[in-house]
A and B are shown apart, each in its own frame.
Chain A
Amino acid sequence: MPRVCEICQGAKAILRRPKTGQSICKECFFRVFETEVHNTIVDNKLFRRGDRVGIGASGGKDSTVLAYVMKTLNERYDYGLDLFLLSVDEGISGYRDDSLETVKRNKEQYELPLLIVSYEQLYGWSMDAIVETVGRKNNCTFCGVFRRQALDRGALMLDLDHIVTGHNADDVAETILMNIFRGDIPRLGRCTEIATSGDGYITRSKPFKYAYEKEIVMYAYFRKLDYFSTECTYSPNAYRGYAREFLKDLEAVRPSAILDIIHSGEAMQVASEVKLPSQTSCERCGYISSNRVCKACVLLEGLERGVPQLGIGKSVKKTQDLLAGRTATRSGRAVDVVHFDKLRKHAQEMRHERCTGCTCDTSAPGT
């Protein structure tokens, strides 16, 4: 005896929602899933009409569903957004090559322009080359630091106003747990925010902040979306893995646990006496940094001088002070990392070219 949809009372139920416990049919599922994301976007005023929005696309399930849903909602509700796919190629053979093929197919399927920025091209080092040098121990540190900057660089190349990422409710809950376990109060405050302004950089947001991973996977399945699923071939983040397992065990007992954790995280206030590091720009590359030289530049210098442990662990602050005021040493393989001021100027010129007949002055700095 098939169960009937609890929303339309007509069609056969094909899914039980973890959020509400309701059993619903395929069409109702598509509608409620899309509408909830739309409500998240509207309630949080994530976009303005005319915004150029890059979808951080990895070829995985979350970003593939995000690209599809963003395109659908932009058309259905006439947001007036210019959408782009923005991908980072870390240079991990057998992993990223395959997932980038998926992104290239998505580009055709969704008819969205695609920009791929690679570590090799931006920094002169692919992850494969980095792992060859540093081994498999700290490579995730390099990857994380480089990815964040790579997305900002790509965003300036496309002159974006905004980057959306596929982080879902499970990811956010997991990050909240990890920050609590580590006592990382500044990060706890930041990770619950749906949008971060990035201190004058491009705004980043998570339209799937309240969307359950289960529903994202089901959505991809029922819409027959084309995505890629393999773990990164280099050492997985074991700590996150445990947090994830713990979260999944909690969810199995109590499906609302994921949203409960997000709400708890949002309700926690960072006390005003907790000092958040003040921000300045890196004197080498112009990237936002809490030190005179940013982490990416420190890591790069370490790689190029053959002392990759330079930027890792407790010595970071010391190294950053040490490097301040010195010019970077360049070995044969290194590329000159483009300064952010140059990228910003380029973005401004692109903006000028688009606004035909306007009177904006491209020679004026930082408008």
Chain B
Amino acid sequence: MSITVDVEFSGGLELIMKDKVRQATVSLPATADGKPTTVRQVILYVRDNLVADKPQLFSTENTVRPGVLVMINDSDWEVEGENDYQVQDKDKVLFISTMHGG
């Protein structure tokens, strides 16, 4: 069984994605090694498959780099459990860079 997650990029992050995409639909297995898929797997998928350029601007140490905000269904991921949040089918995950421009 697989789930689809809608990922979006803004705040300048879209500029380091392949074809400068602002939005993509990602398909992931619902479980990995018997455990539910978490948002960390979404981040790693984006890092390995969607980032075209300067991956260190998106991710360090198997999560987003400090300074990238993550919104899960319009909520700060810090109230949703951060990396361990279990993604559901049709979730929307938005990544916003705060490191660009003033």
Interface of A toward B, CB cutoff 8 Å = 3, 12-16, 23, 58, 60-63, 99, 166-167, 170-171, 213-214, 217-218, 221, 228-231, 244-245, 248-249, 251-252
Given contacts A244-B99, A245-B66, A248-B65, 9 further A-B contacts (CB under 8 A): A14-B79, A16-B76, A62-B102, A214-B98, A217-B11, A221-B96, A229-B97, A231-B12, A249-B66
Flag the segment in B33-41, B43-51, B67-75, B83-91 that touches A.
B67-75
A248 and B12 contact, Cβ closer than 8 Å, known pairs A60-B101, A60-B102, A229-B101: no
Please, could you name 28 A-B residue pairs with CB atoms under 8 Å apart, sorted by A? A3-B79, A13-B75, A14-B75, A14-B76, A14-B79, A15-B78, A16-B76, A16-B78, A23-B79, A60-B101, A61-B11, A99-B101, A171-B102, A213-B98, A214-B98, A217-B69, A221-B71, A228-B101, A229-B12, A229-B100, A229-B101, A230-B12, A231-B12, A231-B101, A245-B66, A248-B66, A248-B67, A249-B66
Other-chain contact of B101, A14, A230, A252 (Cβ < 8 Å): A230
Cβ contact within 8 Å between A218 and B102: no
Q: Indicate if the CB atoms of B66 and A214 lie closer than 8 Å.
A: no
- Expressed in whole angstroms, the minimum distance between the Cβ of A59 and any Cβ of chain B is 8
CB distance from B78 to the nearest CB of A (A): 4
Q: Which residue of B lies closest to A250 (CB)?
A: B66
- Which A-chain residue is minimally distant from B11 (CB atoms)? A229
Q: Is B15 an interface residue (CB 8 A)?
A: yes
Q: Determine if A217 and B12 form an interchain contact, defined as CB atoms under 8 angstroms apart.
A: no
Is B10 interfacial (CB 8 A cutoff)? yes
A residues in contact with B98, CB < 8 Å? 61, 170, 213-214, 217
B102 touches which one: A15, A61, A249 (CB < 8 A)?
A: A61
Set A167, A171, A230: member contacting B100, Cβ < 8 A: A230
- CB-defined contacts of B79 to chain A, threshold 8 Å: 3, 13-16, 23
Q: A228 — which chain B residues lie within 8 A by C-beta?
A: 101
Q: Which of B15, B65, B75, B101 is in CB contact (< 8 Å) with A15?
A: B75
State A30–B78 Cα separation when bound (angstroms). 18
Cβ A231 vs Cβ B66 within 8 A: no
- For A252, the closest partner residue in chain B by CB is B66
- Tell me whether A229 and B66 are in contact (CB under 8 A): no
List of A residues within 8 angstroms of B97 by Cβ: 229
Smallest CB-CB separation from A95: which chain B residue? B101
Give every chain B residue within 8 A of A62 (Cβ-Cβ): 102
Q: Which of B10, B76, B99 has the most CB of A within 10 A?
A: B76
Nearest chain B residue, comparing its CB with the CB of A58: B102
Known: A229-B10, A229-B11. A217 touches B96 (CB 8 A): yes
Which residues of A have CB within 8 Å of B71? Answer: 221
Chain B residues with Cβ under 8 A from A99's Cβ?
Answer: 101
User: Which residues of chain B are within 8 angstroms of A60 by Cβ–Cβ distance?
Assistant: 101-102
